[in-house]
Amino acid sequence: MTPMDTRRTPDGRFDEALRAWADRPPRLDPIAAARAVTSRLVERRRPPRLVWALATAAAVALAAAGVLVVRVANPPLAPQQVGLVLASPTLTEGQVLIWLDDRTPLYMTCAAPDAAAQ
């Protein structure tokens, strides 16, 4: 079979077309491709300072917000309240203590209806 005959077979025609197709120049020329790849390598190597700075700032802000929320939800007792709390008797089971103001405690006792009837 001569080379001309080979090209006329499906195999030969496909091989020829495949070689030509694969040989087309890529979109990126080799120099641009090398630049693109190395810039990706350099980018990965560079210590991500900005990212770390942002992460640290976010962590600090989050911690500050957490502390603020806890402080607002549980305000520290005034000195006189502390004295009253310390002076008040220990609550037994079913007792509830509500402070109406700084100096006025309200004790309540909760019990089941049948227990109250007895």
Dihedral sign from CA coordinates of 82, 84, 88, 93: negative
Q: Which of residues 39-58 bind other proteins (CB under 8 A)?
A: 40-42, 44
26 binds other proteins (CB under 8 A): yes
> Of the candidates 1, 2, 3, 23, which one interacts with other proteins according to CB under 8 A?
23
| Cβ–Cβ < 8 Å for 77, 85 | yes
Q: How far is the CB of 4 from other proteins (least distance, A)?
A: 12
DSSP string of 74-96? SPPPPHHHHHHHHHSPPP-TTEE
Rounded to 5 degrees, what are φ and ψ at 89?
A: -65, 160
8 binds other proteins (CB under 8 A): yes
Chain CA centroid to CA 29, Å: 40
Report if residue 14 touches other proteins, rule: CB under 8 A. yes
CB-nearer residue toward other proteins: 13 or 71: 13
- At closest approach, how far in Å is the CB of 11 from other proteins? 6
**Is 103 one of the binding residues for other proteins (CB under 8 A)?**
no
